[in-house]
Structure 1
Amino acid sequence: MTNHDEAAAVRPLTLAWVSRHLEVGERIVKTEALHGGITAEIRRLTIGTRDGSTRDLVLRTFVNVEHAEDGLNREADALTLLTGTGMPAPELVAVDPTAAHCEYPSLLRTHLAGRTVLDDEGLETRVSLLARQLVAIHALRPAVRPRGYVTLTTADTVVTPKGADAAAWATAIDVIRKPAPPYEGRFLHRDFQPGNVLFDVGPSRPADARITGVIDWAATSWGPADLDVAHCSTNLALLHGPAWGLRFPEAYEEAGGVLAAAANERLYWQVRDGLACSEEVQQVAKAWREAGRPELTTRTVEERLNAYVTALMDPLG
């Protein structure tokens, strides 16, 4: 077995666990670290088959991550539920949520074709595709609903960026002091954003992009469609500029999605997700730099977050 780089090395107990879930005569011939994740170590494992060909699997390992067991159980349940739905999601191979066999909690799944695309070229096309894909996710009606959504950010945990518009942020924080508005429940991905969507896109034809997969279902929940839309909006604002964050709800509705009817209810979810990002700007910026956006320094992402939150609050004067 060869490692693409040192970070790709699979720990001994985990390696033995993975091997037990391969077909007879198969073996791991190469491992490669995949970048862009925040909570998990992600590795692509190339498997040599009996007939001399290869196939790929993906190993997700949670090292010293709080609530890893819950997240892995939730992802395993989601992948099982999504089987046969036509959703371009991976298939579950095995899961060890309590590290009973591996050094750390781990999940093994099939590998999907495609790649994440985080650059600006072809963005208009990808935003429309993202919107249509999210509408399809929200249309799922599982026989067993996932657990209700969770939001951990409170008015007291928001981290106001240095140099931010203090008045706008104070008004935004006041928005999330209020109770959540009523909503009609939907199946939520809960971390739907460009970093968790795979595309097939040629280097010379970005307008011909198509989605090949949606990954990282560890936070799957039941809740308001607005919350998923708000999360993707925040990520688009930080990756590509505030205007794209403001554009995404429109794209979602153009794709047939339904958001809260009242403007103040929509604003609640948009602001809640934007403020939630304030607590993890450094981790988000680091992940994006590792994924090929070196210009996205922590300061740059902070400035975009401030501009986005300020733009959201502009209608309130």
Structure 2
Amino acid sequence: MEKNTGGLPEKVLDWVLRQFSPTAAFDSAAQLKGSTSSTLFRISLWVENSTENYVIRLLDNQEWLEEEPDLAIHEAASLQVAEDAPVPTPEVIAIDETGIECGIPAVLMTMQDGAVDLKPSDMESWLNQLAESLVKIHQEAGDNMPYDYFPYNDPNTIEFPSWSRVPEYWKRAIKIVAGSRPPVKECFIHRDYHPANVLWKNGRVSGIVDWVNACKGPAGVDVAHCRWNLAILYGVDAANGFLQAYQRYASDFLYDPYWDLRTLIDILGGPPEVYAGWADFGVTGLTDDMMEERLDKYVVSLLE
């Protein structure tokens, strides 16, 4: 009988099975939706008379690997530190650091229960839980995290957003980011915290996933990254609602719009486009023009 591997390469499946007892057996596999920078598969195995689900990340983005060849090691280190934070996260099972076993670098981990929810029925509760979960991540100091925050774009050389209808605001933003950054107390940060990396079950956060970019850095980076995602998904009010919720849960957090501007500069590099993964989670009707308009409104709100 032919295996239902869902497109998972046979050599990858063989490697996965070798991580378990000889009695473990393959049940099924399917590619997970929503990921655009790597390929994710859910793998179901028979392990000691019960079905267990796992996730494997195949790091098949060659451009990304050329920039950061240790991505598998990075995610494994991130997940190990995340275990100490009071949030539900996957656990590392094994990594294929260089791809010698799987053909490409890979990270095998446990699967978190739940699903992405980008169409919440109660936006206020949803934003509150999104913020509360991030505060819990930031409670971890990250002293054992071997990776440190670094910005992605240099404001002195970044391509100016010619698509913008408010260029004077972007010029101000770039000038501010080119100046000195405010002093902060660093902590463990996710570095890619946004609604598509948060899982929900029965109206509650059930898991935080996609830790491959995690590092030690300013909490404001995570807050800002989530805020611009919310701004282009739902508008400035959602971004502000998230900030207000975060401040309620993290009473010692000192908000500085510098980090909002810093993360906006980090995503420049061509006209903004609708994130392809959103459609997989039921968000349709957005256009690239809307992304431009909402980013303009967001940068104006930050500077006014």
**TM-score, length basis structure 1:** 0.87
Query: Is the CA contact (8 Å cut-off) linking 1:288 and 1:296 kept in structure 2?
Result: no
**CA shift at 1:50, angstroms?**
4.4
- Matched residue of 2:275: which SS? helix
**Pair 44,257 (structure 1): closer, same or farther in 2 beyond 3 Å:** farther
Query: Is the CA contact (8 Å cut-off) linking 2:189 and 2:215 kept in structure 1?
Result: yes
* Equivalent residue, structure 2, for 1:189: 190
**CA shift at 1:186, angstroms?**
1.2
Matched, 1:172 2:162: no
Q: Which digits, 9 at most, give the CA deviation of each residue in 1:247-290, with x for residues without a partner? A: 222111111243336xxxx1110111123233377566212123
- Uncovered stretches (5+) of structure 2, i.e. residues with no partner: none
| Aligned residue among 265, 287, 290 for 1:275 | 265
The code of the aligned residue for 1:71 comes to L
**CA shift at 1:300, angstroms?**
2.1
**Pair 135,212 (structure 1): closer, same or farther in 2 beyond 3 Å:** same
| Aligned residue among 19, 35, 38 for 2:36 | 38
Matched, 1:216 2:232: no
| Aligned residue among 232, 235, 256 for 1:241 | 235
The code of the aligned residue for 1:305 comes to L
May I ask how many residue pairs the two structures share in their alignment? 298
Matched, 1:200 2:201: yes
* Equivalent residue, structure 2, for 1:141: 141
**CA shift at 1:295, angstroms?**
1.6
Matched, 1:14 2:4: no
**CA shift at 1:21, angstroms?**
1.2
* Equivalent residue, structure 2, for 1:231: 225
**CA shift at 1:119, angstroms?**
1.5
Matched, 1:108 2:81: no
Q: Which digits, 9 at most, give the CA deviation of each residue in 1:170-204, with x for residues without a partner? A: 11111111122211111111111111111113xxx
* Equivalent residue, structure 1, for 2:47: 49
**CA shift at 1:28, angstroms?**
2.2
* Equivalent residue, structure 1, for 2:22: 24
| Aligned residue among 248, 258, 262 for 1:254 | 248
**TM-score, length basis structure 2:** 0.90
* Equivalent residue, structure 1, for 2:296: 306
**CA shift at 1:27, angstroms?**
2.1
Query: Is the CA contact (8 Å cut-off) linking 1:185 and 1:222 kept in structure 2?
Result: yes
Name the % identity.
28
In 2, the alpha carbon distance for the partners of 1:310 and 1:161 equals 16
The code of the aligned residue for 1:62 comes to L
Matched, 1:118 2:118: yes
In 2, the alpha carbon distance for the partners of 1:313 and 1:134 equals 25
